[in-house]
Structure 1
Amino acid sequence: MAQAIKTGSVGTVVVAGAANLAIAVAKLIAGLISGSAAMLSEAAHSVADTTTEVLLYQALRRGARPADTRHPFGYGKESYVWAFFAAMFTFVAGAGFAVTHGVTTILVHEHSGDYLISYIVLGVSFVIESISLTRAVRQVRRESRRWQTTPQRFLRLTADTAVKAVFLEDSAALIGLVLAGLGVGLSQATGDEVWDGVASILIGLLLLTVAGILAANNLSLLVGRAVPARLGRAIEQELAGLPDVERIDTLLTMQLGPDDILVAAKIDFRDEATGAAIEASADEAERRLTARFPEIRYVFLDPTRSLPGALGQARNTQARPSPDAGGEPDPS
């Protein structure tokens, strides 16, 4: 089934990318004129964010390609590959430069003393980043209402890595601007450039944290993450309510892409059910699930014989989170 690029996510990525590009140029000029390590680190931060948005746009575009004979389940997982590359670029380029330059500044203590341009660029950057973050927040709230959950839970569990990345990066950008402002201000007030270097290092650590969160999330999705617990329970309930179903023996799910979910289940039907009745139940299962959850693209049901001593409940189902899953609810 062909997928269209998600308009809301694309808009959020494009706005964030344009904002970061303009801010990166301004910060770089300010950093070169003032010699501030924190400003140059913030310039590297914005360059990393701009590159991240380009990679996220590539993720949305490539992941939306329709299925073909070589990739029958589509290209949804490719979006996680590009999003992982984006996280790694932030980790290496942004965080690496910020920490290294901060350490160098602490050791060398070099600064031109021209602080005014740094304050101006930081203030303008804060306004622009706030506008970009506002758009991301609106999309998060809109999506969380659609899933009937809180924005915090949606961000933690969503498979839409683009909007998650933009939200985290814009939030980190605002925190980074505050850190840079404090570093520049303390350096000017005390005459000691160590504060500028410390601010640069803190900005680098902030980028490391964001990159680590996004990288881990994308790796989990690339390996093949199940849908979260609450959605798994809802799928199980829909299947259990089908005509002629005695028991769900196994329920397995996988997130194939930001808007692609696969559902596979072994189901024990009543012994009296005819082949035609089982086929009708399978068709009804797909109709119910896709109507309630449009993200479900594939539904595979395997009629199976009940195990001895079965009591009518699923034996092996992802609706019950494993200890490694941490029992997290899902955004549905």
Structure 2
Amino acid sequence: MVERSAADGPAPSDAPDRDRSDEGGSGGESTLTVLIAGAANAAIGVLKLVAGLLTGSSAMLAEAAHSVADTTTEGLLLAALRRSARRPDRRHPFGYGKERFFWALIAAVSIFVSGGVFAIYEGVTTILGESAEQTLAWVAYGVLGVSFLLEGTSWLQAVRQVRREAAAEETTFFRWLRGTDDPTVKTVFFEDSAALIGLLLAFAGVGLHQLTGSGVWDGVASLLIGLLLACVAYILGRTNKGLLIGRQADLRLVTAIRRALQDRPEVDAVVDLLTMQLGTDSVLLCARLDFDDSLGAADVERACVEIDAELRKSFTDLAEIFLEPVPRTDPVMRGRVLDRYGRTLA
């Protein structure tokens, strides 16, 4: 097996040096998106808490908990961005990219525990308890209006980044969201979308309480906000679980790499092709190749070095590349490929 790593010396001049801090680190657009969301949610949380205490609205208190959860989430995402940007070392030779997935998973748990559970509890107790009189409803309306503007600003920043990322990858908005390996932007987008919907639910709860005099509507709004947060937490948790387990790279990237390998004159067949997301814009590649039998050992070694350099130049997401010469007719290798894919790559 031939590999290029830090121990082999600097990469060839045509293979750009990959600094993990350029992949959405502290100076990247992802950080800006998270900072805007965090600042907005911190300010909104204080306003909602004051409004909830003044009006006695359970929906407003649920929204305050929602903002606390969102602010906590942004703090966790900032930690994810900073810690995942560290370079590989002896203890973690493949780098720290998956820290972004871990902290984003913790953020999803935070959304559910500190936001969803409280909102559901507040809604249930309001519906089952005695109806409380609502006071100073205009305060709630004012806070909800200001909150909508601040949340909308954060949401628009997330939308702009998603659109740019999708356009750069020549895919659609929602397809990028489903397949992205950057959980920070996805988390902010879903979190802000839920926040805007939650504000509308709180507005409806406060309004119906004021019109009917029944606090049940306030409780229903709080309950719906809690369920909304639980759904968002589930979506984000499932995404990050897949990335932590070790998800394959984007299928278009895998297909392009396979095509590039097949086009090499020294390669008779691509026997097996394994990829895994090591972090955002960071992919590990293991390719098992059947080389031309007429090549000698030195020729195969030289071909591996050239293929490595060519792949790094063409596919900048590749952080680590392993190339292994194997015969395509080997029954054990064919069996592994069939077990994994149900068919041979050929």
Q: What TM-score results when the alignment is normalised by the length of structure 2?
A: 0.88
- Is the 8 Å Cα contact of residues 45 and 95 (structure 1) preserved in structure 2? yes
Deviation at 1:269, TM superposition (A): 0.6
**Number of aligned pairs?**
318
CA separation of 1:308 and 1:59: change in aligned 2, threshold 3 A: closer
Query: 67-76 or 300-309: which moved more?
Result: 300-309
CA separation of 1:110 and 1:95: change in aligned 2, threshold 3 A: same
Deviation at 1:321, TM superposition (A): 9.8
- Is the 8 Å Cα contact of residues 251 and 316 (structure 1) preserved in structure 2? no
Deviation at 1:288, TM superposition (A): 3.0
- Is the 8 Å Cα contact of residues 28 and 40 (structure 1) preserved in structure 2? yes
- 1:199 maps to which of 218, 221, 231: 221
1:279 equivalent to 2:292? Answer no
- Is the 8 Å Cα contact of residues 48 and 143 (structure 2) preserved in structure 1? yes
- Is the 8 Å Cα contact of residues 250 and 317 (structure 1) preserved in structure 2? no
**Paired residue type of 1:94:** G
1:221-279: per-residue Cα shift (whole Å, max 9, x none)?
Answer: 11111113222211111111112111111110000011210000110011112333323
CA separation of 1:146 and 1:89: change in aligned 2, threshold 3 A: same
**What residue is the counterpart of 1:306 in the other structure?**
328
- 1:38 maps to which of 56, 59, 84: 59
Deviation at 1:145, TM superposition (A): 1.3
**What residue is the counterpart of 1:4 in the other structure?**
21
**What residue is the counterpart of 1:92 in the other structure?**
113
- 2:268 maps to which of 242, 246, 253: 246
* Unpaired runs of at least 5, structure 2: 1-17
Matching of residues 86-235 of structure 1 within 5 Å: 86-108=107-129, 109-235=131-257
Mapped to 2, the partners of 1:59 and 1:281 lie a distance apart of 38
1:127-173: per-residue Cα shift (whole Å, max 9, x none)?
Answer: 11111011111111111111111111111111100001001101110
**What residue is the counterpart of 1:291 in the other structure?**
313
Matching of residues 70-89 of structure 1 within 5 Å: 70-89=91-110
Mapped to 2, the partners of 1:95 and 1:189 lie a distance apart of 27
- Is the 8 Å Cα contact of residues 249 and 306 (structure 1) preserved in structure 2? yes
Deviation at 1:2, TM superposition (A): 4.2
- 1:13 maps to which of 20, 30, 34: 34
Mapped to 1, the partners of 2:254 and 2:203 lie a distance apart of 46
**C-alpha RMSD of the superposition:** 2.0
1:64 equivalent to 2:85? Answer yes
**Paired residue type of 2:324:** D
Mapped to 2, the partners of 1:123 and 1:45 lie a distance apart of 16
Deviation at 1:315, TM superposition (A): 4.9
**What residue is the counterpart of 1:326 in the other structure?**
none
Mapped to 2, the partners of 1:54 and 1:173 lie a distance apart of 17
**Paired residue type of 1:305:** P
1:26 equivalent to 2:43? Answer no
Deviation at 1:112, TM superposition (A): 2.9
**What residue is the counterpart of 2:14 in the other structure?**
none
* Unpaired runs of at least 5, structure 1: 323-332
Deviation at 1:192, TM superposition (A): 1.1
1:153-196: per-residue Cα shift (whole Å, max 9, x none)?
Answer: 11111110000100110111001111111111111111111111
CA separation of 1:199 and 1:35: change in aligned 2, threshold 3 A: same
Mapped to 2, the partners of 1:111 and 1:36 lie a distance apart of 9
- Percent of aligned pairs with the same amino acid: 51
Mapped to 1, the partners of 2:113 and 2:226 lie a distance apart of 10
**Paired residue type of 1:201:** L
**Paired residue type of 1:100:** Y
- Is the 8 Å Cα contact of residues 206 and 218 (structure 2) preserved in structure 1? yes
Structure 1 stretches of 4+ moved >4 Å? 314-318
Deviation at 1:287, TM superposition (A): 2.6
**Paired residue type of 1:168:** F
- 2:277 maps to which of 243, 248, 255: 255
